[in-house]
Amino acid sequence: MRAFNFSAGPATLPTEVLEQVQEELLDWRGHGLSVMELSHRGPEFMGILAQAETDLRDLLEIPENYRVIFCQEGASAHWDMIPLNLLQGRSRADYIETGYWSYRAIEEARRYCQVNIAASNRSDQFCAVPLLQDWRLDPNAAYVHYCSNETIDGLEFHWIPETGAVPLVVDMSSHFLSRPVPVGRFGMIYAGAQKNIGPAGLSLVIIRDDLLQPATPGTPFLMSYHGQVLANSMLNTPPTFTIWVASLVFQWIKRQGGLAAMEVRNREKSDLFYAALDRSGFYRSAVKRSDRSRMNIPFHLRDPALDEKFLKEAEANHLLQLRGHRVVGGMRASIYNAMPLEGVQALLAFMADFERRYG
Ligand code: PMP
């Protein structure tokens, strides 16, 4: 029986990509060595990096005046790098609080500047995106930061905030490449790799040219976006293997029909899932319908005493890593790009059967 991995990250990768990795692992394109053993400054790896950027640009239709950085740091490092690089002498920044990850960014930013929490859904238990009309944006803020898909809380922005002249900075880690995005609406987009991009060990930054200024004096050299762009993401040895796998994932997405096709599949999978949750009195989703994530679906069993039994039986049915994050409990099904429709169908069939037996 085929196994399906619902982990939030490191997450399931397309089987086709893993097979390609396996095939080429010992002998990359007939060069007689593994891609892991290529010099990062040699023409072969430089070719891989350039192709990865070209494919990413194609997929997202990234405008000419934006640079792409392949960063060795995880998404968390950007919570420091953003203020260090974007404050540019200003003392204030706006942050939107919508759940666990946006809050982590806020905590970190407080080390560098006065953080204005321009909107928060804390009083709604992080179950609904705050309405734009209630945001108290500061026109003198250096930037506005938000997280467009809260991986733990299961909340997704299905719209893009309008922030006027203040650059919009977004953590897209957990729904990057899940649908088309008008990059030109953002000052900067960042995303960790281990969901829709590839294995852990990489994050991507897409940043508008005019925001690329030298970082605050004293910033570690690896944390300067300006420096990384000048060095073509090679201020030091980049995670070459991870970048290669990411490049294979980009090509896989292109073969699927690009981001518009990904969106159709992701809608289909998540619509099916939420319809099943809404029909059932046994399982429930706490998130407001209009703000539900198409990637990360947290849900609870009516009787939490059944949680361990559910997880054990799911695993016996090859439905893996469904335990919810420790801060919210319950279950979470992450259904990123690489999760096939059959995986969602298999999980829903198991859930219906479990409900019949214990409901
Ligand atoms: N932001 C979001 C939305 C995330 O989901 C995660 C990790 N799951 C992070 C940031 C942190 O990423 P990393 O562990 O790569 O630093």
Query: What is the CATH number for 336?
Result: 3.90.1150.10
Strands 144-147 and 168-171: parallel
Q: Which residues of 156-185 are buried (b: 16+ CB within 10 A; e: fewer)?
A: bbeeebebeebbbbbbbbbbbbbbebeeee
Residue pLDDT, tens place only, 268-291: 999 999 999 999 999 999 999 999
Asked which of 255, 273, 288 is the last residue of a domain, the reply is 255
- pLDDT confidence tier of residue 203, bands split at 50, 70 and 90: very high
Asked which of 201, 235, 255 is the last residue of a domain, the reply is 255
Q: Are residues 99 and 219 in the same domain?
A: yes
- Atom 9 in ligand 1: residue holding the nearest Cα: 75
Instruction: Please provide the size of the chain in residues.
Output: 359
Q: Which two tokens stand for residue 16?
A: 């086709």
Q: Are residues 76 and 197 in the same domain?
A: yes
The more confident residue out of 1 and 278 is 278
Answer yes or no: 101 catalytic.
Answer: yes
Contacts of 124 (CB under 8 A, 6+ apart): none
Query: What is the count of structural domains for the chain?
Result: 2
Using the mean position of ligand 1's atoms as its centre, give its distance from the Cα of residue 29 in Å: 33
State whether the beta carbon of 180 lies less than 6 angstroms from ligand 1: no
Answer yes or no: 195 catalytic.
Answer: yes
- For the whole model, what pTM was predicted? 0.98
Q: Are residues 191 and 84 in the same domain?
A: yes
State whether the beta carbon of 83 lies less than 6 angstroms from ligand 1: no
Q: Structural domain of residue 136, as residue ranges?
A: 15-255
Q: Are residues 251 and 264 in the same domain?
A: no
Answer yes or no: 171 catalytic.
Answer: yes
Task: Provide the sign of the torsion angle of the four alpha carbons 307, 277, 346, 252, taken in this order.
Answer: negative
Q: What is the C-alpha separation between 184 and 306, in angstroms, rounded?
A: 47
- Residue 5 lies inside a defined structural domain of this protein: no
Please provide the average confidence, as pLDDT, over all residues in the chain.
Answer: 97
- Residue 1 lies inside a defined structural domain of this protein: no
- pLDDT confidence tier of residue 46, bands split at 50, 70 and 90: very high
| Active-site residue, selected from the candidate residues 171, 244, 269, 291 | 171
pLDDT given for residue 151 in this prediction: 98
Q: Decide: residue 36, CB within 10 A, 0-12 exposed, 13-18 middle, 19+ buried.
A: exposed
- Give the position, in ligand 1's atom list, of the atom nearest the Cα of 192: 15
CB 104 within 8 A of CB 76: yes
pLDDT given for residue 10 in this prediction: 98
CB 206 within 8 A of CB 67: yes
pLDDT given for residue 1 in this prediction: 73
Q: Are residues 58 and 147 in the same domain?
A: yes
Q: Are residues 19 and 130 in the same domain?
A: yes
Q: Are residues 42 and 140 in the same domain?
A: yes
Q: Are residues 199 and 101 in the same domain?
A: yes
pLDDT given for residue 43 in this prediction: 97
Q: Are residues 276 and 234 in the same domain?
A: no
- pLDDT confidence tier of residue 352, bands split at 50, 70 and 90: very high
Q: Are residues 171 and 292 in the same domain?
A: no
State whether the beta carbon of 79 lies less than 6 angstroms from ligand 1: no
Closest CA to 143 of 207, 224, 220, 99: 207
State whether the beta carbon of 196 lies less than 6 angstroms from ligand 1: no
Asked which of 192, 223, 255 is the last residue of a domain, the reply is 255
The more confident residue out of 168 and 2 is 168
State whether the beta carbon of 337 lies less than 6 angstroms from ligand 1: no
pLDDT given for residue 148 in this prediction: 98
Query: What is the CATH number for 211?
Result: 3.40.640.10
Residue pLDDT, tens place only, 216-269: 999 999 999 999 999 999 999 999 999 999 999 999 999 999 999 999 999 999
Q: Are residues 249 and 264 in the same domain?
A: no
- Residue 212 lies inside a defined structural domain of this protein: yes
Residue pLDDT, tens place only, 282-322: 999 999 999 999 999 999 999 999 999 999 999 999 999 99
Q: Are residues 239 and 264 in the same domain?
A: no
Residue pLDDT, tens place only, 133-162: 999 999 999 999 999 999 999 999 999 999
- Residue 4 lies inside a defined structural domain of this protein: no
- Residue 51 lies inside a defined structural domain of this protein: yes
